[in-house]
Each structure stands twice: as structure tokens, then as C-alpha cells.
Amino acid sequence: MGLFDKLAGWLGLKKKEVHVLCLGLDNSGKTTIINKLKPSNAQTQDIVPTIGFSIEKFKTSSLSFTVFDMSGQGRYRNLWEHYYKEGQAIIFVIDSSDKLRMVVAKEELDTLLTHPDIKHRRIPILFFANKMDLRDAVSSVKVSQLLSLENIKDKPWHICASDALKGEGLQEGVDWLQDQIQAMKT
Amino acid sequence: MYTLLSGLYKYMFRRDEYCILILGLDNAGKTTFLEQTKTRFNRTYKGMSLSKITTTVGLNIGTIDVGKARLMFWDLGGQDELQSLWDKYYAESHGVIYVIDSTDEERLSDSKRAFEKVVTSEALEGVPILVLANKQDVETCLSIPDIKTAFSDCINKIGRRDCLTQACSALTGNGVNEGIEWMVKCVVRNIHRPPRQKDIT
């Protein structure tokens, strides 16, 4: 109901809603990350490969996030672009232990960044260099070099080392994203 | 006729875009400086609270309009490993702001080493550099003459370019306006690096 929503907004009861896209290759840990960000009673125990996409919601101290958790499998990646217009921020997840497919991730990132719906918008991008718990994982700085993130010059970005299984590093990244979104909206 | 009118329109509403890099060691106050600048030069910008700023790993950006110039700031992370990213931005930048933590006497030599690397880089030849001695609000900080002495052997490496050392406090905002105004003046008159031109839409 529009009226009640507005009233709640005026009273400060309702948090601002933002749409965020969660992208990345398959098996990089997107769903695990989103799952960890939800309140502990809403978390699921077993995580299976996402088919198509799923919509998840969670709240932080001042914003209410609606996350489009997209499937990373090759055949579903063409779905991503249909959601670019709606996204106010992007979370891009990378499997830091998968050096072989780092180039694939870079390719997908490049197509994402050159897409007309993304190219000229100044939306923040948060990178999670995930799976830091694995022994052969490379550091977040190395990941940023492998993906040549320095080529992103007109969008704020942030890379965060994370371990989605334990939930380490996630909050820090989301805090950054929240600050950026709030700064953007004013 | 159309060309004339569109030319006039472009002349009136064109803005020269300059890219400014903000460099310095970690915890020097680069992001705080950027936020302070944004709040001071954008009337509508509310900004994030300065106390909440954390370590930058990546890139923060900000744009401000000063007169006919539009400055775009790239604020990069200052940690050791992240310094390897700095040089990727040199070719496209019109000015550099180098932030020094005036309270951190121990790492002043590290800062000097990083500064030397910046000024000796060929890609940055002739680009104006603003050196900010930050955190001047702290009582025990080093003064401008102290810092100038510590950096004295860099002077001949600076070469032919505009360079200014300015005391500032990113937290309180002292010296921020002076620094930015100097920077604008220098990038505008630096003919070796013409601005990117952008129409205002």
C-alpha cells in the first residue's frame, strides 16, 4: 500500500531499499555469501548450485538490500544483462583458488563493464576474493592484478578477502557498500 | 546555423575535466581528505561520517566542480602491496595530491621513498604535485619545516613542475580549500596535459 509505505518512510520506520546484483562464475560462492548475510534464523544449511537466479533480502543498519543472486553457470550468464538496469550496486564474487578460470572471470567482468547499461553509470562494485581459507588461494591484491581492476576508472570499487563458509570479511565489504550507496543517493 | 548555435552552447556549458590522483601511505588520511573535499565543494553532498572511514582496498572516486573545471579524484589504497597499482593511473592523471601523515615520524622515510618513486616516474612528468602535511590538528605533529627538511633530498628530483607543500587537517578541514584552489590553478595552466572535455548533459 502506497500510503502506509510513505507514512512509514516519513516516520523513519522503513529502511531505504536498494537493488544489488550478485555476479561471478559458478562455484565461486555467491549464494553462500548472500546466505551468510541473512539473519541466522533465515539461513539455509545446504547450498546447491543456483539455477537461473534467486532473490534474497537482508537488512543492514540503515539499508534494506534486495539481492539478485544470479547463477554463474555458463549457460545462464546471458541472463545477467537483463538485470543490469535495475542494479544500484554490484557484488562480484571471485574464487581466489581457481587460478585457471581467473581469465574467464576477467572476461565476464570486462563484458559486464562495457555493457551500455553499466558503462556510464557510476555504481559501486564490491569484489569478494572468496575462498581465502583454501591453501592455494591468492591474495586479494593479486586477484585485483589478475583481473586488472585498475582499468576501472569511473566507478568506485573495493576488494575484500573473504571466507564465506566462516563469514569472515563479509561484513567489512557490506559496510563499504552501504557507505557508498548512501553517499551516492544524496 | 546549427553548428554556430551548438558551438555556442558547447562553449557555454562545456566543462574541462581533470583527473587528480590522491596518493600516500596507508593511514595518511587520503579518503578522509577526499570526503572533506566533497562535502566542502558539493553543496548537496551530505557525505559519510569521517570517523567511519576504513582502509581503502581499491578505488574511491569523487567529483567536484570548481568554476569551469571539473575535478575527478581517484583515491587509491596506500598499503605496500597496493602501491603497485598506482602507476597504472599515472598516464591519465592531470595532478597528484600526495598526503603525508605528520604524526607518524617513524614511517616518514617510507613515505619519502614512495614519494620519490612518484616524482621520478616518467609518466608523471610535468604534472603538478600538491604535498599535504595532514593531521596538523594533532598537537605532537611535525611542522611544515620539519617535513621539508626530511624531504630535502627529493627537491632536485621534482624537476620542472608545480609543487606546493601545504599544511592541512582533513578532519577539521583546515587547508583543504587552499590546496584544492592551488591544484585547480595549476592543472588549468599546465598546457602539457590538456583536459578531457565533457559536455554537461
**Domain spans of chain B?**
14-55+72-192
Q: Does the pLDDT value for residue A1 go beyond 60?
A: no
Q: Is B166 labeled as catalytic in the residue annotation?
A: no
* Minimal-distance CA residue of chain B relative to A160: B57
- pLDDT given for residue B42 in this prediction: 83
Measure the CA dihedral B78/B79/B82/B83, to 10°.
60
Q: Find chain A residues with C-beta within 8 A of B20's C-beta.
A: none
N- to C-terminal Cα distance for chain B?
21
Q: Does the pLDDT value for residue B80 go beyond 80?
A: yes
**Catalytic residue selected from A43, A45, A73, A180:** A73
CATH topology of domain B14-55+72-192: Rossmann fold (3.40.50)
Q: Give the containing element (helix H, strand E) for B73.
A: strand B69-76
Q: Find chain A residues with C-beta within 8 A of B89's C-beta.
A: 150, 153
Helices (H) and strands (E) in chain B, counts: 6, 7
CB contact at 8 A, A85 and A117: yes
Q: How far apart are CA B131 and CA B145, in angstroms?
A: 13
* Mean local confidence (pLDDT), B156-165: 85
CATH topology of domain A16-185: Rossmann fold (3.40.50)
**Catalytic residue selected from B79, B83, B136, B166:** B79
Q: How far apart are CA A144 and CA A54, in angstroms?
A: 27
* Minimal-distance CA residue of chain B relative to A126: B58
Of B58, B85, B92, which is closest to A158 when you measure between CB atoms?
A: B58
Domain boundaries, chain A: 16-185
| A109-125 pLDDT tens trace | 999 999 998 988 889 99
* DSSP, res A64: E
Cell numbers at residue B46, please? 551530505
Q: pLDDT confidence of B87, banded at 50, 70, 90?
A: confident
H runs (alpha helix) in chain B = 2-13, 30-41, 108-120, 144-150, 155-158, 176-189
Q: Which residues from A are below 8 Å from B when comparing CB atoms? A: 122, 127, 139-141, 144-145, 149-160, 172, 175-176, 179, 182-183, 186
